[in-house]
């Protein structure tokens, strides 16, 4: 048994339970973005969060222990995603990657936007021409220093 | 001569001119995000915008014509970017890709967030623990339909 | 269990049942193109369509629930398909890709032909030199805009 | 000098000349689809067609000879295209590939749709919700035979 | 169950039965080349051929049905084969590919040698310096046409 | 300067000279198959053959010397060829590779068909349904031995 | 069941039996190099050798039959090996490959060193600065001929 | 200018000079194996050796300096070599890699055969059935230790 | 059963036992770095170390034997790691690789830093701005020699 | 002109000047590790550092400006390095990657060791059995947080 097995069990249990990610997040007590990532095997739960997950998805002792172990991260099969929704994000990196790099460096100098000290918020943006997906990403700027 | 040659010339001219992307965008009359992408060879300029670029970067007739031709897009060498700043964005897609997919489907059903009818805004978010990069992405939701 | 398991079960059940995709589509009440894609795990069914599939292929409650979950799309193993029929389509993209790009841009300007707001129709075109496969693709044009 | 050099020269000459592919095709006397593919280095011209191209793009004797040599085909850099328009076509093969395979086999039996004895027609389909790109592909069915 | 499972069962049954491919082909009533390809999951059998295979390899109803479904073709793991015998063929394509292309085009003009309307014959060619493998390939020439 | 430069020069000279590969082979005094491979940079010429090539293509001393150096072989860019004619050969290896392996082993036991002690003959096979390309490959069988 | 299954069973049986490869080779009656390759699924055994293996590793009838079938060769996962010992050999090919090529061609002319009519001998070379691994490779030279 | 440029110049000079690698090695005062690797850009020369190379190949001051800088090693384009002679060596690693690993570990325990403290000797082995290439590799065994 | 199975069993047993790697290392009597690598299937244990592991993780005779067999090393799926922590190390090699190469060559001349005669020490470095990870790597320098 | 051109010019100038990286670092006023990375195109210089480099390597105005632009980082060609010294580092990540991950998580919890807020120190460690390369890496630990 490894973390992937626990992830598969959670996804199957969610399909049967008809719970939404938002409802699960409320029970876990964290944002729906973080909670979904955690349930999909990308984040580490603390003991209390794991206990809630245990209850919700009818997990065993061993499965509950796995949720508290740091996982080997990376949620996609293959270097270039095939799923159209996820590919559009990869395309944004491909088309706008150098643009993002230029503008962050122009504002902050040499360094990166952290993907660790990072949060994300996804919401519906009503629009008469068709609603839009609005995503806000916030990551700490980490400068390269000379030493 | 192709668009890549024009892009290289623009980048070199910008280095010499010491203009920022924000200043160039103001002259072009568009956001700094779109303008930078266009100058880096990912977007198509109209005649008026191309004329401004011509002036700024001392382009020839032929180079100015190339800016008005739809380019072959994709700004990165290789499927997995090596630059640390751009890699962090690729990592976000790798780690959070399935999370983003789940949450957009939960809110909107089957479909995608457009990377074409799309805009982006990058700005500094002051923070006592170190300033943060805040990026807002907005893309129209496009549903799959059965027919 | 995941969607792939349901797809495999449906394919095996179809082999045993000797139903054609056209007959299945009639029962589902959608085109044979959309129905086949859905049965092969690429599209999401609504509750009524899933109920028909349940009946046809003798699915369980859980399998029927999976048909209503948005799947991770992409039906081919590997980036370059090995199957000769599917490869010919990949070859069309390889040989004619830049041609298609040029002609769509000439007619419409910068943007794409949607693969989401998209439909397809495949039919036999009788011909004395040997019948032909006629495929009509229709996708909404989505323009890039400057902002 | 090879065919790629001639292709680059033709593209640059077209940018300067402001001719459309449709106008070039009319002068060559073939469809705009075939003509564009030929000018982009994917098809072989006969002597008369090459003479027209020579006139239009101011080619030398040697360049004109290259147009009449069968080229090494394949117009895209890399196995997975990065350009959003061309990627959408690759995505169609990825998502609908097995569907296309099933439906052609259901109608015709084992074999392929030829990408050689093949023609393509691209046109605008007016639509109140936004115009659509309509593409008609026609390829001879070639059966596998047992021997 | 899918076609691969049937292929594996046939190979295992052949090992146990000690039948040669030539003997199997005689019973199926086709050449040893076509028959072997079919038994290895690359070709589609008709009802009568499938019935013979059923008898020979003790197949079930469902397995016999799979033999009559068009398979997803491609018999090798990986893009570059590791098996020395098969690699030598890949090497022939690598070293002589452009030669084959030049000579077919010189004789026939632009087009391809079909791999569908195709047959193959493999036989021993006695030779005092060591016997040779003689392979005759015959494929219909399919011309590209301008339209 | 390396062998590739000589190959490019020979191809360009051939285009200008309008000589066929068959005519060149007659002058070199070898088969058209071997001669084409040699001219395309895959084989090593002896001094006499190189002198003929020198004459035909107007080569310098240094270029003539290169023809007599063993080249780094492999005539295709990329592991999977994009050119439709050459791809069909790769497809034959992909679809029939395991078949070829089985039949050679059935006749000869464990070993390979040499791609070095090897010859090839390509000719037109007239046929009322459309002429065919007939290719005869002959390679020495080399057995694996236990030691 | 296929040859890989037999290989895995043999390796596991060897671990339990504590036999060395040298001891197994003595029983099989061949060199330790050939015997190890055969047991690892790369070579074909004759009936007598297979009977010894059967005895040693407690194989079934079917498993013993598999040892006498020519295997699909290639013992490594992936194109570039990750195991440090095997990687050093790959590195030798990477660093010295062109050197080996030059020196064999200088001595023998155009051709190859056979990897089929080939033997290998691995032994310990005592050395006061630390013992060395001495490997002797012997392969027949096969010349390319013009025809 | 970098080391590759010097390598190309040396190869071209060698072609013109008609010197063999053996003769060059004698002048350099090292084995023909090491000398060839060094001239092909894989090894670092000392001042005296570089002075000989300078003389032989008519190098400039700067080119002579480059020979004394440690190069970025790796002499092959691509992960899997296409040249038949070099491929046979890659095939030996592919087919016999796990065999070599087993036998070295059986004799020496866990560790590697060094590719750095390493020498190679290539010579002709006369044989009535056709001469053979004999290669002796000698590399120090380096054990893994626990700490 | 192979070494991977033993590794998975050990990891699962560790999750259940709540032992830390440090505690396991103390019982094995080696550093935590070496012990963790060994338990993750990268190093070979001697009989005494294996007996301790047997006790700790409740292994069978056969599993204990596997720990004393030299494993096929390489702990990561894929050439480029997806896990953010491990990727940062890959990024260090990508960004600083040529720097490390230059500085080691400047100090030591041509050669390598051994990854076999190698040890590693990982510890916490307290820091008021946030604690740091301090890693000390020590590898024997192995010079290339000319021969 | 881009940063790569400046890097090549600096390397060539360094070869001619016979300056060591240590001497260059002293003049720049930073560690030899950071300075070498910067000169090899991976770091951004400030105006004063760039002025020193200008002096040392005889750079133009434009080249000096490039040193102050944030570069596209990544110093290696290909995903798996071919150079033996750099490969050993890649091997450390491959063999010890999961070990490093486990031990950092055991000490710090979920998060990463920064490759940005990072420094490196490379020095000679004298040793009677042969000197060793000692490398100290120090990177800030960045925790993942739930939100």
Mutant choice from D4, D95, D126, D128 vs C, greatest count of C C-beta within 10 A: D95
Residues, chain C? 147
Residue D35 has pLDDT above 90, yes or no: yes
Say what angle helices E21-28 and E32-39 make with each other, to 10 degrees.
100
Smallest CA–CA separation between C46 and chain D, in Å? 19
Best C3, C4, C79, C96 member to test D by mutation, with max D CBs in 10 Å, is: C96
Provide CATH 1.10.260.40 ranges for chain A. 3-66
Q: Is B in contact with A (3 or more beta carbon pairs below 8 Å)?
A: yes
As a whole-number percent, the residues of chain G with pLDDT over 70 amount to 100
Identify the band that residue E1 occupies on the pLDDT scale cut at 50, 70 and 90.
Answer: confident
Query: Could you tell me which residues are beta bridge partners of residue D135?
Result: C137, D122
- Reported confidence tier of residue C38, pLDDT bands at 50, 70, 90: very high
Q: Which of B15, B40, B103, B116 to mutate to test the interface with A (most CBs of A within 10 A)?
A: B103
Q: Catalytic residue among I88, I102, I123, I132, which?
A: I88
Q: Which residues of A touch I12 (CB under 8 A)?
A: 1-2, 62
d(CA A133, CA C145): 17
Q: Does I145 touch chain H (CB under 8 A)?
A: yes
* Confidence check: pLDDT of C133 > 90: yes
Nearest-CA residue of chain C relative to E1? C12
Nearest-by-Cβ selection for F147 from G30, G44, G101:
G30
Token pair in block for residue E56 = 């020979």
**What local confidence, expressed as pLDDT, does residue D77 receive?**
87
pLDDT in tens, I71-121: 999 989 889 999 999 999 999 999 999 999 999 999 999 999 999 999 999
pLDDT of residue F46: 95
**Residue I68 burial (10 A CB sphere; 0-12, 13-18, 19+):** middle
Choose the catalytic residue: A20, A114, A119, A138. A114
Chain I residues whose beta carbon lies within 8 Å of the beta carbon of residue B82: 94-95
C130 contact residues in D (CB cutoff 8 A): 140-142
Q: Which of G12, G81, G82 sits opposite I1 (nearest CB)?
A: G12
pLDDT of residue C77: 87
Give me chain B's average pLDDT, please. Answer: 95
Instruction: Give yes or no for F126 touching D (CB within 8 A).
Output: no
- From first to last of the 147 residues of chain A, give the pLDDT tens digit: 789 999 999 999 998 898 999 999 999 999 999 999 999 999 999 999 999 999 999 999 999 999 999 999 998 988 999 999 999 999 999 999 999 999 999 999 999 999 999 999 999 999 999 999 999 999 999 999 889
Instruction: Answer whether residue C21 shows pLDDT above 90.
Output: yes
Burial (Cβ within 10 Å: 0-12, 13-18, ≥19) of residue D77: exposed
Contact between B95 and I84 using a beta-carbon 8 Å cutoff: yes
Answer whether J44 sits within 8 Å of A110, measured CB to CB.
yes
Question: Of A82, A84, A94, which is closest to D82 when you measure between CB atoms?
Answer: A94
Chains that touch A (3 or more CB pairs under 8 A): B, C, D, I, J
User: Residue C127 pLDDT more than 90?
Assistant: yes
Averaged pLDDT for residues F19-31: 96
Q: What pLDDT does B145 receive?
A: 87
Answer for the pair E89, F101: CB distance below 8 angstroms, yes or no. no
Residue C82 CA to residue C76 CA, distance in Å, equals 9
Q: Which residues of A touch J146 (CB under 8 A)?
A: 30, 34, 38, 43, 46, 49
* Predicted local confidence at residue D138, as pLDDT: 97
pLDDT tens track for B32-43: 999 999 999 999
Chains C & E: contacts with CB separation below 8 Å: 23
pLDDT tens digit string along G62-113? Answer: 999 999 999 999 989 889 999 999 999 999 999 999 999 999 999 999 999 9
Give I30's contacts in chain H (Cβ within 8 Å).
Answer: 146-147
Residue F55 has pLDDT above 90, yes or no: yes
How confident is the model at residue J1, as a pLDDT? Answer: 78
Q: Does domain C84-143 have CATH number 3.50.50.60?
A: no
Please give the DSSP secondary-structure letter assigned to residue H40: T
Environment class of residue F47 by beta-carbon count within 10 Å: exposed (0-12), middle (13-18) or buried (19+)?
A: exposed
User: Which among A82, A83, A84 has the least Cβ separation from residue C116?
Assistant: A84
The count of CB pairs under 8 A between chains G and H is 224
In angstroms, the CA H70 to CA H66 distance is 8
Mean pLDDT of H126-133: 96
Is the model's pLDDT at C145 over the cut of 90?
A: no
Contact assignment for F147 to G112 by CB distance below 8 Å: no
Query: From G83, which residue of chain I is nearest by alpha-carbon distance?
Result: I73
Search chain J and give the residue with CA nearest I92: J115
Give percent of chain E with pLDDT exceeding 70: 100
Whether the Cβ atoms of residue A41 and residue A7 lie closer than 8 Å to each other: yes
Contacts (Cβ under 8 Å, ≥6 apart) of A133 = A122, A123, A124, A125, B104, B107, B108, B113, B137, B138, B139, B140, B141
CA distance A84 to B112: 7
**DSSP per-residue string spanning A107-135:** HH-SEEEEEEEEEEEEEEE--TTS-EEEE
Question: In this structure, are residues F146 and E146 in contact, taking their beta carbons and an 8 Å threshold?
Answer: no
pLDDT(J55) > 90: yes
Cβ-based contacts of G80 with chain J (< 8 Å): 80
Task: Collect all residues of chain C within an 8 Å Cβ-Cβ radius of residue E74.
Answer: 81-83
End-to-end CA distance of chain H: 45
> Is G34 within 8 Å of F146 when comparing Cβ atoms?
yes
Q: Is J16 on the interface with H (CB under 8 A)?
A: yes
- Per-residue pLDDT of C89-109, as tens digits, reads 999 999 999 999 999 999 999
Contact between chains at I16 and A62 (C-beta distance less than 8 A): yes
Choose among A12, A15, A83: nearest Cβ to C74: A83
Shortest CA gap C55–chain A (Å): 19
CB proximity under 8 Å: J 64-103 to I: 73-76, 79-81, 83-86, 88-103
Q: What is the pLDDT of residue F77?
A: 87
Q: Is E120 exposed, middle or buried (0-12, 13-18, 19+ CB in 10 A)?
A: buried
Q: Give tens-digit pLDDT for B72-85.
A: 999 898 899 999 99
Question: J105 at the A interface (CB within 8 A)?
Answer: yes
A88 a catalytic residue: yes
**DSSP alpha helix (H) spans, chain J:** 3-17, 21-28, 32-39, 47-57, 61-66, 84-108
CB contact under 8 A, B16 and J72: no
**Which chain B residues have a beta carbon less than 8 Å from that of J66?**
15
Mean pLDDT of J6-26: 93
pLDDT confidence band for F40 (50 / 70 / 90): very high
pLDDT confidence of residue J145: 86
F72 to chain E, closest Cα gap in Å: 10
Three-class SS state of H17? helix
Written as six digits, the tokens of C119 are 């439909």
Q: Which of A8, A15, A83 sits opposite C72 (nearest CB)?
A: A83
Q: What's the average model confidence in pLDDT over B75-96?
A: 94
Q: Which of C55, C62, C91, C102 is catalytic?
A: C91
- CATH fourth-level superfamily of A3-66: lambda repressor-like DNA-binding domains (1.10.260.40)
I15/A69 Cβ within 8 A = yes
Q: Do J84 and H116 touch (CB under 8 A)?
A: yes
- pLDDT at residue B142, rounded to an integer: 96
Is the pLDDT assigned to residue C33 strictly greater than 90?
yes
Task: Please choose, from the candidates E78, E66, E89, E74, the residue with its C-alpha nearest in 3D space to the C-alpha of residue E137.
Answer: E89
For position E102, what pLDDT does the model report?
95
- Give helix I47-57 / helix I21-28 axis angle, nearest 10°: 140
Integer CA distances (angstroms), F12 to C86, D68, E46, F19, in order: 36, 13, 51, 11
Q: Which H or E run includes D117?
A: strand D111-125
Q: What is the mean pLDDT of chain E?
A: 95
- Reported confidence tier of residue J101, pLDDT bands at 50, 70, 90: very high
Q: What is the mean pLDDT of residues H48-73?
A: 95
Q: What torsion, rounded to 10 degrees, do the Cα atoms A7, A10, A12, A17 define?
A: -160
CATH 3.30.1160.10 holds for D110-147: yes
D107 interfaces chain E, CB cutoff of 8 Å: no
Q: What's the mean per-residue pLDDT of chain H?
A: 95
Task: Please name the residue of chain I whose CA is at the shortest distance from the CA of residue G9.
Answer: I1
* Reported confidence tier of residue E78, pLDDT bands at 50, 70, 90: confident
Contacting chains of G (3 CB pairs or more, <8 Å) are: E, F, H, I, J
Q: Cβ of D31: how many Cβ atoms within 10 Å?
A: 17
Instruction: Say whether pLDDT at H23 is over 90.
Output: yes
Q: Is the ipTM here above 0.90?
A: yes
**Buried/exposed G39-72: b ≥16 CB within 10 Å, e otherwise:** bbbbbbbeeebbeebbebbebeeebbbbbebbbb
Active site residue A114: yes
**Among candidates A80, A82, A91 on the partner chain, residue whose Cβ is nearest the Cβ of D84:** A91
Taking the mean position of all CA atoms in its chain, how far away is CA E33?
6
Cβ atoms within 10 Å, residue I82? 21
Q: Structure tokens of I56?
A: 């700790």
Residues of A with CB below 8 A from D92's CB? none
């Amino acid at each position: 048994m490894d973390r992937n097995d626990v992830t598969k069990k959670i996804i199957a249990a969610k399909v049967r339970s008809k719970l939404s990610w938002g409802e699960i997040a409320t029970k876990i007590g964290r944002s729906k973005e973080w909670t979904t990532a955690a349930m999909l095997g990308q984040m580490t739960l603390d003991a209390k969060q794991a206990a809630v997950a245990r209850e919700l998805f009818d997990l065993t002792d061993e499965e509950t222990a796995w949720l508290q172990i740091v996982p080997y991260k990376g949620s996609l099969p293959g270097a270039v995603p095939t799923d159209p929704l996820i590919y559009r994000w990869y395309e944004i990196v491909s088309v706008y990657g150098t643009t993002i790099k230029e503008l962050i460096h122009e504002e902050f100098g040499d360094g990166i936007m952290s993907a660790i000290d990072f949060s994300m918020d996804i919401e519906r943006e009503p629009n008469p021409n068709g609603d839009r997906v609005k995503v806000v990403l916030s990551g700490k700027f980490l400068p390269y220093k000379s030493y």
